[in-house]
Structure formats: structure tokens, C-alpha cells
């Protein structure tokens, strides 16, 4: 008779407790339950499948190492999401040092372009299935620069406040506000053909 608990049946609280004691099977079950969400967050920031895979796995390794620090103040998946976000930001910073910035991207960065965008009033043009809608949004997100996409992901999807985003992105709150403003207006412009009711 094995003394290992049946991990698929256990609650998250129990799995975390067991994993904190070194139970690898419990940690594996946590990975299985949340791997898609952690991968999806990494992909939304990196927009590259291989990088997202690597960084999500890095996050799990880091999560294992830091499990003792998890006190239950947030859900486990929220805690893991924060870890993968930080890893993605580190990677983006490394890549930025190597990337050649275009003039347009620099203009976007400083927030000058969006002043010339007219306010968008979405026109009812065509009906869209939910899947197609999500694909349109995903394609629009892909057209943003890393910095603008990141601030949008952190604010709209992760619901972080300006201050916290500024700390994680190592920039000023003013820069966060400008980038967020530009990103939203750019998304609205890219999605301008959507039905009004889809945006309500």
C-alpha cells in the first residue's frame, strides 16, 4: 500500500501544502492544472511559442524553489503568474538591449502618435463568431510593440495598478500612463470594424 495521496483528487490548498513539504507528485499535479494559463500569459507577452514554453518552464522551476514563500495571500495561480510575468519582463529587457528600435516605435514609446488618432466609433459591419473575434483581438495585440502590449496585458488582463506596473517595468508612472493610453487607442483603431454590440 502506497502512502502517497491521490493528487488528482486533492484541493489546491492540499497540493500546495504537500508540495511545500517536498512532494513532487503534488507539484506535478499543480503544474498540470495551471500550465496552460501560465503558458498563455508568457505567450501574450513574448508572442513566440518557443520563448513562451521556455519561460513558463523557468517559472515552474522558480516556483518550486520559492514555494516556502507562498503564504496563500493570493491564489497559487496568481502567484505563479507574477513569477512568469517577471521572467518575461527580464527577457524583454535583455532583448531590448539587442533590438534595433525603429523611429516609429520610438515615437510610439514617447506617446506622440496617438494624439493624431481620431476617436473611434465602432461601426456595425459584420457579425463575428466568438472565435473569430478573439483572433481579431489577438492579431491586433501582435501589432503593438512589446512595451505597449506589456502594459496592456499587465493592466487589462492582470489588473495591476499603475504603480505596480511601473515597478515591474522599471519606468515612471507617467510612462505607464502614456503607454497604456497609446495602446488602448491603437487597439480601438485596429478593431474599428467590429460591431458595436461586440464591444459592449
Partner 1 sequence: MKHDLELSLQAWLDGELPEKEAQQMGAWIARDAEAGALLAELRAIKEFLPAHEMPRTVPDTREFYWSQIQRRLQQPEIAAKPASSSWLARWQAYLLPLTGVAAAVCALIVTTHHPRTPAFDEISATSDLMETVTYHDQSGQMTVVWLQDSSPIAPLSAAPNVQSTTKTKDEADEEVD
Partner 2 sequence: MRKFLTCSLLAWLCSVAAVPGTQAADMKVEAKLVWGANDDKGDGKCQPVDNDLASKLHGMFKWKNYFEITNQAAAIALNKTSELKMSDRCTIQVKNLGDSRVEVNCIGQGKEVCKGAYTLNPPTWLVLGGNATNDTAWFIALRAVDQKPVEAKRSLTTN
Question: Distance of CA 181 to CAs 111, 122, 193, Å?
Answer: 8, 18, 20
Residue 145's Cβ-side half-sphere holds a number of Cα atoms within 13 Å equal to 22
Lookup: cell for 63: 516556483
All cell numbers assigned to 59: 517559472
DSSP structural state of residue 156: I
Angle at 156 between CA 90 and CA 29, to 5 degrees: 65
Q: Is residue 11 within the footprint of partner 2 (CB under 8 A)? A: yes
Residue 78 in grid coordinates: 496568481
Residue 150 contact, options partner 2, partner 1, none, Cβ 5-8 Å cut-off depending on partner type:
none
> Candidates 53-61, 76-84, 86-94, 97-105 — which segment interacts with partner 1 by CB under 8 A?
53-61
Out of 12, 20, 28, 164, point to the residue binding partner 1 (CB under 8 A): 28
How many residues are listed for the chain in this entry?
200
Of residues 47-106, which lie at the interface with partner 2 (CB under 8 A)? none
Select from 32, 106, 107, 167 the one that contacts partner 1 (CB under 8 A): 32
Residues at the contact surface with partner 1, assessed by CB under 8 A = 1-6, 9, 14, 24, 28, 31-32, 35-36, 39-40, 43-44, 49, 53, 56-57, 60-61, 64-65, 111, 115, 119-122, 130, 133-135, 137-138, 152, 155-157, 161-162, 174, 177-178, 180-181, 184-185, 187-188, 191, 198-200
Amino acid at each position: 500500500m502506497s502512502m502517497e495521496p491521490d493528487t488528482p483528487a486533492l484541493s489546491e490548498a492540499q497540493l500546495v501544502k504537500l508540495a511545500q513539504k517536498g512532494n513532487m507528485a503534488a507539484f506535478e499535479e499543480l503544474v498540470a492544472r495551471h500550465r496552460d494559463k501560465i503558458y498563455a500569459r508568457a505567450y501574450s507577452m513574448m508572442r513566440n511559442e518557443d520563448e513562451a514554453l521556455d519561460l513558463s518552464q523557468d517559472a515552474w522551476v522558480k516556483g518550486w524553489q520559492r514555494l516556502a514563500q507562498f503564504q496563500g495571500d493570493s491564489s497559487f495561480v496568481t502567484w505563479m503568474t507574477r513569477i512568469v510575468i517577471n521572467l518575461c519582463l527580464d527577457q524583454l529587457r535583455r532583448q531590448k538591449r539587442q533590438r534595433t528600435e525603429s523611429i516609429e516605435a520610438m515615437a510610439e514609446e514617447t506617446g506622440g502618435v496617438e494624439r493624431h488618432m481620431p476617436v473611434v466609433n465602432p461601426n456595425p459591419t459584420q457579425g463575428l463568431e466568438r472565435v473569430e473575434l478573439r483572433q481579431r483581438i489577438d492579431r491586433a495585440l501582435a501589432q503593438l510593440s512589446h512595451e505597449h502590449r506589456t502594459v496592456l496585458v499587465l493592466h487589462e488582463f492582470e489588473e495591476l495598478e499603475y504603480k505596480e506596473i511601473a515597478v515591474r517595468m522599471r519606468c515612471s508612472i507617467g510612462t505607464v500612463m502614456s503607454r497604456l493610453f497609446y495602446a488602448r487607442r491603437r487597439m480601438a483603431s485596429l478593431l474599428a470594424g467590429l460591431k458595436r454590440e461586440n464591444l459592449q
